[in-house]
Amino acid sequence: MEKYLIAVLAGIISGFADRWLMLRSDYRYYPTYPHAYFTHLALGFIAASLGAVAIPALAKPDYVAVTFLVLAAQQFRDIRNMERETLNNLEKTKLIPRGNDYIEGIARVFEARNYLVILTALINSGIVYYLGWQYVFISAPLCFMVSLKMMAGSHVGDIAQIETGKLFFDGSMLRVNDVVIMNVGLHADREKILEEGMGVIIKPIDDNARLTLDAPGQRMAIIHDAVSILGSKVDMSETQFAPLARKHIDKGYLAMFLLANEPDIDYLIEIIKRVPVLESTRGTSLNSFYGRKAAD
């Protein structure tokens, strides 16, 4: 009985610690409020408890206890729906929205994190049960590193080169280098854009990256993250100041315009590099047989 309790306790502690380490809150992540921290930590504790009892229950044997893992999988799917619903409700009040692809990516991540917690608790409780509690000091840090690595993902800076673009007007058409952004009619608005606006060029490193950056959801994510940090001077019904990302239809790269509260071009480039590549927009055409043939 004591061996069983030690194994379960080790699994719960390691699983809960893993969820704590994976909890992030900044301009790219959710939650950002105290009640959301509590909600996700509580769910992490439940996930850790479910994973911790699996191996000792099988060893006892008590197969009824293991069936709770099947029920947990269904319950944690509801976490994705909860996150999606919350963020979609918040989306209605934002001048610069995240976009559905960004929201779906966040929801998937929070579901996956609870499965990682279950796996971490299961592994560590099994190691303690069969090998002894001393080995948890080796297995737990390894599980933490694997979890953090799996949750890291890739960023726009991994698939594209970002550089400063020249912002100018061709008549009333706003351009960044050779990409047309939009038509700005008022002379006063043009002067303000030229004085305070910023332009960047985002060049994909290959055709897979080009497909990713083509996706409207990925562009919305880039714009949202930039605005979240640097701010924007756009107001309701003032589309001439709205940040935009347009594609050069022949060369495939993006040109982005932003009129920010904090006009720092170097910081803008760094922010864009750190924007996550969304799973639903990720291009993989070159990985296919015909994609490789076309590239050749």
pLDDT the model gives residue 28: 55
One digit per residue, the tens of pLDDT, for the chain of length 296 reads: 688 899 999 999 999 999 998 887 555 555 556 667 788 888 899 889 888 988 888 887 776 666 766 776 677 777 788 778 888 888 888 888 888 888 888 888 888 888 899 999 999 999 999 998 899 999 999 999 999 888 877 899 999 999 999 999 998 999 999 999 999 988 899 999 999 999 999 999 988 899 899 999 999 999 999 998 898 988 877 778 899 999 998 888 999 999 999 889 999 999 999 999 988 887 666 555 455 544 55
State pLDDT tens for residues 204-224.
998 889 989 999 999 999 999
What span, in angstroms and rounded, lies between the C-alpha atoms of 26 and 276? 13
> Contact 193/174 with Cβ under 8 angstroms?
yes
What span, in angstroms and rounded, lies between the C-alpha atoms of 240 and 235? 10
State how far the alpha carbon of 130 is from the alpha carbons of 18, 58, 133, 180, in Å: 21, 12, 9, 65
The residue type of 58 is: L
State pLDDT tens for residues 58-112.
887 776 666 766 776 677 777 788 778 888 888 888 888 888 888 888 888 888 8
What span, in angstroms and rounded, lies between the C-alpha atoms of 287 and 259? 38
221 CB-near residues (< 8 Å, 6+ apart): 98, 99, 101, 102, 275, 276, 278
**Which structure tokens are listed for 49?**
């408890």
State pLDDT tens for residues 264-275.
999 999 999 999
What span, in angstroms and rounded, lies between the C-alpha atoms of 233 and 241? 7
Distance of CA 32 to the CA centre of its chain: 14
> Contact 268/230 with Cβ under 8 angstroms?
yes
> How many helical (H) and strand (E) elements, i.e. helices and strands, does the chain have?
11, 7
Average pLDDT, the chain: 85
